[in-house]
Chain A
């Protein structure tokens, strides 16, 4: 056997050939994903046709859009029957859509700043890898935001904060003796501090505060939705946890109070509660007292969503095996400890999708306040803007704008909750 006997010997490897065109790149992707079988192909073609038709309406509507006229009639003059949106209403009234029509124009930076700070305040709560010290800012944020948005003397939020501090100090001092003495002592101390603070503010009666005071009824636009949504969600989650625990309590009085509260609130439509807050309460209060309308609405929406969140969390509690509760007891933990260390972390993790569901629904429900003549984003559109003779008849542009704003927020919330679920996925996978 010698080398010459073989006619051909390959000394080196054939260079790798690319896969055939039908098996690579975009074509492969299209074949696999869009035309893998007859049904898929038909669906793909139908989808393309519908997208095309949609685009023939939407694209010229946006591209031909008019942005700088002063009335709908002028828009129509410019468009001359061509398809196109009249976005001028957005460029003229954007401030009313975002802040309502009565918030002073030169003060718009205040709610905007409060909105930006909201991210800083929410971050340490939402992302627990951040340093825990940032939570101090979160604790201060409600007072800062209140001062920024409502203005007035800075003393009011400071005294409100001091009331909480006083309450906490009393609670911390007495809770070791008895939980109830601590709790009620703390509440009492807080009220005493608020009362004294209120008197001091009244006595000083500062005429020209640093930030001009803006009354509640001047709040409006998307700002009002954000205020209601943020405040109500952050209040209703802790309240919902308490209600859910109360409903499972061994103490009959507490259990029955929680059951009646939850079942009553869940049995009544939100809009009814809002009407009660708006019209009926005015008759029970002595004439002349003005109980802030936003506060009334916040209380009603918070009660409403707290009842729902309580039921979601109860579902989470019920999903835990009985062994978890017994484990807590066998370790010698008391009720508060076993709840805090063993039960709630697991139950809340199970409840996340449900809680987020309620939160997103709640945020969108804040638009219901438009029926009690508060001018949130939808109220602004339905009332003053469409009621102005110049813009009467512009629907798609305005409602589309509202839809985009709400979508951004709700989609953000839902993305966060999915991240949170992945982050907390420590169980059997």
Chain B
């Protein structure tokens, strides 16, 4: 982690000089493709299917941006990155944006010189343990062996949590989520810690999910969201407001089913502004009037994307929880389109 942070910081510092000010939007348009960094595979968030087509919750953000900018949700070059290569890929300009369930933290935002353009999933770090271990709280885990993904914020949170509770643990470092599952099932570690969404998804794939409990403590805040490089605020705005358009669309009831009908004009001025039938929001952001309409049509509004990829009817099976609209008691909230 230290090393990757260091390399990331170093390289980001070297590169910002050269890349800053470059108009990413023009590059993307000239290329005709959006280079979007994703994971190498996390169930529900990003993975290619049997035909090699990428799908998932993070992938949907990339597709929405591509639809808004280029008018084609398929015009995305997905660049798979690992926890260690993601920041250098973004800093070096290899990718235009990173949508790789990346936690928004102070140092990533400032020191690594990235700009987080919002939060598309509010997560928190939890623990999973076998029922047979007889543990009911993470504070009972004194002396436990813990499987932990290297190069992530979870590694640091884990150390903080155990230190502040004055208990000890032995880390078992691993590279990917699937490897962690295997190690955990093979009882190489007593407990596995990562974002609670991933834990739920992981447990759902176990042969006997009932034999494992997710401990009640959530030891960190993990707001996950897409990010771009410092230095090109226009491009950052496009990514930010594309995400906000998906969120507002759910709040205002714009779905992929009724969007054709609504774009004929409605009584709700905000819907009209989003869909480009009123006002000139598209012009302000440097795109045409129908940018948000295309973004929403790419995969549906935020709620539809959620249900399709990680919702309760999918193998991942996550409840909305914190990720419900603010009107439903969640944290998902978009500034107004005005």
In the complex, chain A residues 125-166 whose Cβ is within 8 Å of any chain B Cβ: none
Residues on the B chain within 8 Å of A282, using CB: 88, 92, 94
Instruction: Check A384/B47 contact, CB under 8 A, given A373-B40, A392-B178.
Output: yes
In whole angstroms, what is the CA distance A283 to B177 when docked?
A: 29
Q: Range of interface residues on chain B?
A: 35 or more
In whole angstroms, what is the CA distance A14 to B288 when docked?
A: 109
In whole angstroms, what is the CA distance A392 to B310 when docked?
A: 14
In the complex, chain B residues 31-61 whose Cβ is within 8 Å of any chain A Cβ: 39-44, 46-52
Question: Does B43 contact A392, Cβ atoms closer than 8 Å?
Answer: yes
Residues of B bordering A, CB below 8 Å? 7, 11, 14-15, 18-19, 22, 39-44, 46-52, 79-82, 84-85, 88-89, 92-94, 175-179, 181-182, 201-202, 205-207, 314-316
In whole angstroms, what is the CA distance A370 to B207 when docked?
A: 27
In whole angstroms, what is the CA distance A101 to B44 when docked?
A: 18
The number of residues on chain A lying at the interface, defined by a beta carbon within 8 Å of a beta carbon of chain B, is 34
Residues on the A chain within 8 Å of B43, using CB: 387-389, 392
In the complex, chain A residues 74-116 whose Cβ is within 8 Å of any chain B Cβ: 76, 92-93, 96, 101-102, 105
- Nearest opposing residue in chain A for B45, CB measure: A387
Cβ of A343 within 8 Å of any chain B Cβ, yes or no, is no
Bitwise interface map of A from 364 to 397 toward B, beta carbon under 8 Å scored 1, else 0: 0000000111010001001111111110110100
In the complex, chain A residues 279-313 whose Cβ is within 8 Å of any chain B Cβ: 279-280, 282-283, 287
- Nearest opposing residue in chain B for A279, CB measure: B88
Question: Does A76 contact B207, Cβ atoms closer than 8 Å?
Answer: yes
Instruction: Check A383/B201 contact, CB under 8 A, given A389-B44, A389-B316.
Output: no
Question: Does A387 contact B85, Cβ atoms closer than 8 Å?
Answer: no
Cβ of A248 within 8 Å of any chain B Cβ, yes or no, is no
Question: Does B47 contact A388, Cβ atoms closer than 8 Å?
Answer: yes
Given contacts A279-B88, A393-B206, 9 further A-B contacts (CB under 8 A): A102-B48, A282-B88, A287-B22, A372-B82, A383-B40, A388-B43, A389-B47, A389-B314, A389-B316
Residues on the A chain within 8 Å of B315, using CB: 71, 73, 389-390, 392
In whole angstroms, what is the CA distance A379 to B47 when docked?
A: 13
Question: Does B40 contact A279, Cβ atoms closer than 8 Å?
Answer: no
Question: Does A393 contact B205, Cβ atoms closer than 8 Å?
Answer: yes
Cβ of A346 within 8 Å of any chain B Cβ, yes or no, is no
Question: Does A386 contact B44, Cβ atoms closer than 8 Å?
Answer: no
Cβ of A362 within 8 Å of any chain B Cβ, yes or no, is no
In whole angstroms, what is the CA distance A385 to B18 when docked?
A: 37
